[in-house]
Homo-oligomer: A and B are copies of this chain.
Amino acid sequence: MPETPLVSIRDVANHAGVSVGTVSNVLNRPDIVASATRARVLAAITELGFVPNDAARQLRRGRGRTLGLVVLDVANPFFTDVAKGVEDTTGAAGMAVIFCNSDGDLTKENAYLDLLEEQRVQGVLITPIDDASARLHRLRDRGVRVVLLDRRSPEAGVCSVSVDDRLGGELAMRHLVESGHRRIAFVGGPHRLEQVRDRYDGALQALTGAGLGEDNLRRYETPALTVAAGRDAAARILGQPRRTRATAVFCANDLLALGTLQVLTRQHIRVPDDIALVGYDDIDFAAAAAVPLTSVRQPRQRLGQTAAGLLLEEANRPETHRHQQVVFEPELVVRESSQRILTEG
């Protein structure tokens, strides 16, 4: 297959009998060129099948038309919903998203950040694995705009869009405590993820708020926030002697909860009668689970839209842009997995 020699702006110019500058003007500021010429150039463009080369434009302009989105796990519907939000906003602005999956692996995260930097993206939306402030600062210093996603920025110099994870943990735990549970398991990890820590801290706070203590909450750390990790954690919980075993489980996300639920069901542990279960994120599948899952809902799509919006604003109006930390509030959605079914009462 012979590489077809691509047609450039120069070919278009020749074909239309104008200069290259004029063709460029037709493309970028059509209003300043006389309508007759404009029509002629446009005709030449379609006739030759000209497609502008974004690399050349980018080289000249300094930055490209893409932005990077770095998430912890593509397979997690939470992130795909966020991605959808991002895409809503960028698509409307004619920009493209380079989608990167760090998979919770610092090496991959760094590799992708390098790559995005080489692409001279407009900016990066990232849910970092750890605080990584050094790395992110370096990015910023090189002119790459950064917006933290699902993570609150500790400093004023960076935009961030997040959900109040402490509050979310608090809501979940308060609900369990009010349902009478006193031996509760927290499933989540790795601990270096801020979301996990915050949700745990929130849970603890609800506990002490109710006059209970740290010994009412047993923590099961997982290596990742996945269904498989949830299954493992459930096995560990069930390894406890029945009399001291937790009567309720709060999982740091829905995937963990679904994994946990699978194991419980398979072992004929009744949910919620024997063990109550609460997840986090309220992904669409939570409601469709074996036992519909109580979960803490986050505005996933809005998270993405807002983050992309902040980035675009920073890119397009740097002079008026003020960095801001947007924090959404989560909401507890109670379903069957955490409350006795009424018909049985």
Contacts and interface: CB of A to CB of B under 8 A. Distances in A.
Contact of A53 (B51, B59, B108, B138): B59
Contacts of A3: 62, 143
A24 interface: no
Given A96-B100, A285-B288, A318-B1, A59 B51 contact: no
Contacts of A258: 285, 288
A289 B287 contact: no
Contacts of A81: 75
A98 B101 contact: no
B142 A52 contact: no
Given A75-B84, A96-B100, A99-B99, A142 B227 contact: no
Given A289-B288, A292-B290, A96 B74 contact: no
A87 interface: yes
A245 B207 CA distance: 51
State the oligomeric state as a number of copies.
2
A290 B99 CA distance: 32
Nearest to A69: B99
Nearest to A84: B74
A64 B55 contact: yes
A290 B100 CA distance: 32
A190 interface: no
A142 B49 contact: yes
A86 B136 CA distance: 27
A33 interface: no
Interface in A59-97: 59, 62, 64-66, 74-75, 77, 80-81, 83-84, 87, 91, 94, 96-97
A262 interface: yes
A158 to B, nearest CB: 11
Given A74-B84, A74-B87, A288-B290, 16 more contacts: A1-B140, A49-B138, A49-B142, A51-B117, A52-B118, A55-B58, A55-B120, A66-B119, A84-B101, A227-B284, A227-B288, A259-B288, A262-B288, A285-B285, A285-B288, A289-B290
30 contacts: A1-B140, A3-B143, A4-B141, A4-B143, A51-B114, A51-B117, A53-B59, A53-B120, A54-B120, A55-B55, A55-B58, A55-B59, A55-B64, A66-B98, A74-B80, A74-B84, A83-B99, A83-B101, A84-B101, A96-B100, A96-B115, A97-B98, A98-B99, A227-B284, A227-B288, A258-B285, A262-B288, A288-B290, A290-B291, A290-B292
